[in-house]
């Protein structure tokens, strides 16, 4: 907020209020956000919500407002903030285009179960349906991408609606909630009272798991010979990573994680088999195909994990722990469903399980690890994998890494070796290019003063999709480390074209339209660095880490044709992995 003006305004008493004790809808909204404990909101003003901005100017609220440069950037920033801190992200935008610009971010948060509340302006109630200026049926447009939504029709309901919105966004399986605010409601007046709790008849999130089911799971675990934990993002959301780690170490059961599960179990632990799925490790996928008991924890059997579903984990009995009933047996019918909060269920499970003797299974997995390790070619050319590994060394695995979508996302997942929950943030479900930069900014806001590096990893394609937020990060002096793996291609699409479309590189070359990223960074008030060879990686990172008062953009000119391996082609059986080291037949 503009502090210089605030101090002046803050000394003036509340303006003459004809109706004593009543507050405007705009003020009620601000007071509600304060009462909810909101620390930061990402917003962009416009006609329908100008009243809220006016009240923010007058009231000097306890939360910070960050003026983003595109509403989509605001939604991703709120997501990054939520993922990094575990708190609810907040977005405030105007009606019509302000709201539609949020659609991608809302859909992203819906797919990845991110708690977020988006306040959208709306035309005055009496104009709704008239095609008024900047009118959009925001509730209709966002219906299938929100956990829930509200159109506030009476200022008296506003405070309670805000309370409900945050409650719904945060609890159960988290997700985005839209609150649509007609302009006349923001101007109307009512007494302000923020409820301390709300009850919603049809909504009762679950807690502990059913004791019998938990016991059954423990028995199945005791009976298994080749058990495997399959851990997803729900484990991190429920703050269950420590319990999961303890449980795996107590039992000696190996762990594979999904993309969103990265960080729920330390990847440098011998029990870790890394990530599974389309670009998972060969040995994780081999373990899945051979396990006799899959213990799915806060995971959702996504098609990027399973590939051809009929052929996936063909020998496994399955235990599935999840908070969302609709997630259980959605794609794969399971043998032992446990409905509950992951962290609580793991707590219930812990005393019931014993260390097992899985030595044969473990040595089989170790043999697979040796057979096809995660590696890449070292021939003196600048390869993205080496850069990610250098980042790992530079930060000792303590950074929060926010990746974009494409090849950079997969290398970022494969080569950093995550050891902490909430240290890996990405757009997994929707796969939104342009996510990383604003999300990293949001994460950095959430982690200010905590001495955590925040690294944004991007491709040259995706980074351009929300590049406007660079100036925002600079204005707020965020010491973001922005990595651009410039392969001059929409690399992941190019990879598919090379492998599955006979090298027809239709419209994936970005060279003609790529900017000079170093100069672009500088134009936005950041430091720009360029690196062209492997020898310069270390010095580039050195220089970047010296900057502490603004973002640094590092452009790495990497080998253009590098591909992500291993790979299970879309829709193929997991047995049919392509790896760089082996021909596909040898792996099958």
Partner 1 sequence: MSNDTTSNNTTAVMPELTPQQLFRKQAAGEAIHPDAEDSIHRHVLTVLIENTIGALNRVSNLFSQRGFNLESVAVGEGLKPEQARLTLVTTGNDRIIAQVLKQLNALIDTIEVEDLTEEDHVERELCLVKVRCTSEERGVLLAMVDVFRASVVNITPDSLTFEVTGPTAKVNAFIGVMKDYDVREVARSGRVAMRRRLAFEH
Residues lying near ligand TPP in the complex (CB under 6 A) are found at: 404-408, 431-433, 459-462, 485, 487, 489-493
Which residue of the set 27, 55, 71, 135 is catalytic? 71
The DSSP H or E segment spanning 121 is strand 116-122
Subset of residues 130 to 159 that bind Mg ion, contact rule: CB under 5 A: none
Residue 224 beta carbon to partner 1: minimum distance, rounded to whole angstroms: 13
Residue 140 beta carbon to ligand TPP: minimum distance, rounded to whole angstroms: 23
Distance between CA atoms of 417 and 402, rounded to whole angstroms? Answer: 14
Residue 147 contact among ligand TPP, partner 1, Mg ion, none, beta carbon within 5 to 8 Å by kind: partner 1
242 to 281: interface string for partner 1, x by CB under 8 A: ----------------------------------------
Report if residue 79 touches Mg ion, rule: CB under 5 A.
no
Q: 138 with 182: CB under 8 angstroms?
A: no
Cis peptide leading into residue 366 (ω within 30°): no
Which residue of the set 83, 164, 183, 481 is catalytic? 183
Q: Six-digit token pair at 488?
A: 């001059």
Show Cβ contacts of residue 394 under 8 Å, excluding neighbours closer than 6 positions.
541, 545
Residue 399 beta carbon to partner 1: minimum distance, rounded to whole angstroms: 36
Dihedral angle at the C-alpha atoms of 546, 377, 414, 361, nearest 10 degrees?
-140
Report if residue 330 touches partner 1, rule: CB under 8 A.
yes
Scanning 3-11, 43-51, 413-421, 572-580 for contacts with partner 1 by CB under 8 A, the matching segment is: 572-580
- Nearer to partner 1 among residue 430 and residue 470 (C-beta): 430
Give me the residue label for tokens 């999130």. 205
Task: Output the DSSP codes for 277-318.
Answer: STTS-HHHHHHHHH-SEEEEES----HHHHSSGGGSSTT-EE
- Nearer to Mg ion among residue 206 and residue 457 (C-beta): 457
- Nearer to ligand TPP among residue 264 and residue 408 (C-beta): 408
Residues in the chain: 588
Show Cβ contacts of residue 516 under 8 Å, excluding neighbours closer than 6 positions.
none
**Selected binder of Mg ion within 73, 89, 105, 459 (CB under 5 A):** 459
Which residue of the set 39, 64, 134, 160 is catalytic? 134
- Nearer to ligand TPP among residue 259 and residue 339 (C-beta): 259
**71 included as an active-site residue:** yes
- Nearer to ligand TPP among residue 95 and residue 409 (C-beta): 409
Which residue of the set 492, 554, 567, 577 is catalytic? 492
Task: Output the DSSP codes for 445-482.
Answer: HHTTTS---EEEEEETTGGGGGGGGHHHHHHTT---EE
- Nearer to Mg ion among residue 489 and residue 517 (C-beta): 489
**301 included as an active-site residue:** no
Report if residue 462 touches Mg ion, rule: CB under 5 A.
no
∠ CA 378-287-266 to the nearest 5 degrees?
Answer: 65
**183 included as an active-site residue:** yes
Residue 555 beta carbon to partner 1: minimum distance, rounded to whole angstroms: 33
The DSSP H or E segment spanning 484 is strand 481-486
Show Cβ contacts of residue 245 under 8 Å, excluding neighbours closer than 6 positions.
264, 265, 266, 269
The DSSP H or E segment spanning 183 is helix 183-187
Map residue 267 onto helix, strand or coil.
coil
**133 included as an active-site residue:** yes
Map residue 169 onto helix, strand or coil.
helix
CA quadruple 304, 421, 281, 331: dihedral sign: negative
Distance between CA atoms of 56 and 43, rounded to whole angstroms? Answer: 12
Subset of residues 94 to 153 that bind partner 1, contact rule: CB under 8 A: 139-140, 143-144, 147-149, 151
- Nearer to ligand TPP among residue 59 and residue 433 (C-beta): 433
Distance between CA atoms of 578 and 494, rounded to whole angstroms? Answer: 16
Subset of residues 386 to 425 that bind partner 1, contact rule: CB under 8 A: none
Residue 357 contact among partner 1, ligand TPP, Mg ion, none, beta carbon within 5 to 8 Å by kind: none
- Count the neighbouring beta carbons within 10 Å of the beta carbon of residue 217: 25
Q: Which residues bind partner 1 (CB under 8 A)?
A: 139-140, 143-144, 147-149, 151, 168, 200-203, 308, 310-311, 313-317, 324-326, 328-330, 332-333, 335, 499-500, 569, 571-573, 576, 578, 583-585, 588
Q: Which residues bind Mg ion (CB under 5 A)?
A: 459-461, 487, 489, 491
Instruction: Name the residues annotated as catalytic.
Output: 71, 133-134, 183, 492
């Amino acid at each position: 907020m503009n502090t210089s003006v605030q101090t002046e305004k803050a000394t003036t008493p509340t303006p003459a209020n004809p109706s004593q004790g009543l507050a405007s809808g705009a003020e009620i909204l601000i007071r509600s956000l304060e009462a909810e404990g909101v620390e930061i909101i990402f917003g962009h003003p416009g006609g329908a919500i100008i009243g809220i901005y006016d009240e923010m100017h007058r009231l000097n609220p306890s939360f910070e407002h960050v003026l983003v440069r595109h509403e989509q950037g605001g939604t991703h920033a709120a997501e990054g903030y939520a993922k990094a801190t575990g708190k609810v992200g907040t977005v405030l935008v105007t009606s019509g285009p302000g709201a539609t610009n949020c659609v991608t971010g809302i859909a992203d948060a819906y797919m990845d179960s991110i708690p977020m509340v988006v306040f959208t302006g709306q035309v005055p109630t009496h104009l709704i349906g008239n095609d008024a200026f900047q009118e959009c049926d925001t509730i209709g447009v966002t219906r299938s991408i929100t956990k829930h939504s509200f159109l506030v029709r009476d200022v008296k309901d506003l405070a309670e609606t805000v309370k409900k919105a945050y409650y719904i966004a945060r609890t159960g399986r988290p997700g985005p909630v839209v609150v649509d605010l007609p302009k006349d409601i923001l101007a109307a007046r009512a007494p302000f009272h923020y409820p301390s709790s709300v009850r919603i008849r049809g909504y009762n999130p679950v807690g502990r798991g059913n004791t019998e089911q938990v016991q059954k799971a423990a028995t199945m675990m005791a009976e298994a010979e080749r058990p495997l934990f399959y851990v997803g993002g729900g484990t991190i959301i429920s703050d269950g990573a420590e319990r999961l780690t303890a449980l795996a170490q107590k039992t000696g059961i190996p762990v594979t994680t999904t993309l969103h599960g990265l960080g729920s179990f330390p990847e440098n632990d011998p029990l870790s088999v890394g990530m599974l799925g389309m670009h998972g490790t060969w040995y994780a996928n081999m373990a899945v195909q051979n396990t006799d008991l899959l213990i799915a924890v806060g995971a959702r059997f996504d098609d990027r994990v399973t590939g051809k579903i009929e052929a996936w984990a063909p020998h496994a009995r399955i235990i599935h722990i999840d908070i969302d009933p609709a997630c259980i047996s959605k794609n794969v019918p399971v043998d032992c469903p446990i409905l509950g909060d992951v962290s609580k269920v793991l707590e219930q499970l812990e005393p019931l399980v014993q260390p097992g003797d899985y030595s044969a299974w473990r040595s089989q997995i170790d043999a697979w690890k040796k057979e096809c390790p995660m590696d890449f070619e070292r021939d003196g050319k600048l390869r993205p994998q080496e850069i990610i590994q250098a980042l790992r060394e530079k930060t000792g695995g303590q950074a929060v890494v926010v990746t974009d979508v494409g090849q950079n996302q997969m290398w970022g997942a494969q080569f950093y070796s995550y050891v902490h929950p909430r240290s890996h943030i990405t757009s997994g479900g929707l796969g939104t290019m342009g996510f990383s930069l604003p999300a990293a900014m949001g994460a950095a806001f959430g982690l200010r003063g905590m001495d955590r590096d925040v690294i944004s990893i991007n491709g040259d394609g995706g980074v351009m999709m929300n590049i406007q937020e660079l100036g925002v990060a600079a204005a707020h002096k965020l010491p973001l480390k922005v990595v651009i793996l410039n392969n001059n291609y929409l690399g992941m699409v190019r990879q598919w074209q090379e492998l599955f479309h006979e090298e027809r590189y239709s419209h994936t070359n970005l060279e003609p339209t790529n900017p000079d990223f170093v100069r672009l960074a500088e134009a936005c008030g950041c430091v720009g660095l360029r690196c062209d060879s492997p020898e310069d990686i270390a010095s580039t990172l050195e220089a970047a880490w010296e900057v502490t008062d603004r973002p640094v953009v590092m452009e790495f000119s990497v080998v253009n044709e590098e591909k992500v391996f291993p790979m299970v082609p879309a829709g193929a059986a997991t047995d049919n992995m392509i790896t760089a080291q082996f021909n596909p037949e040898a792996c099958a």
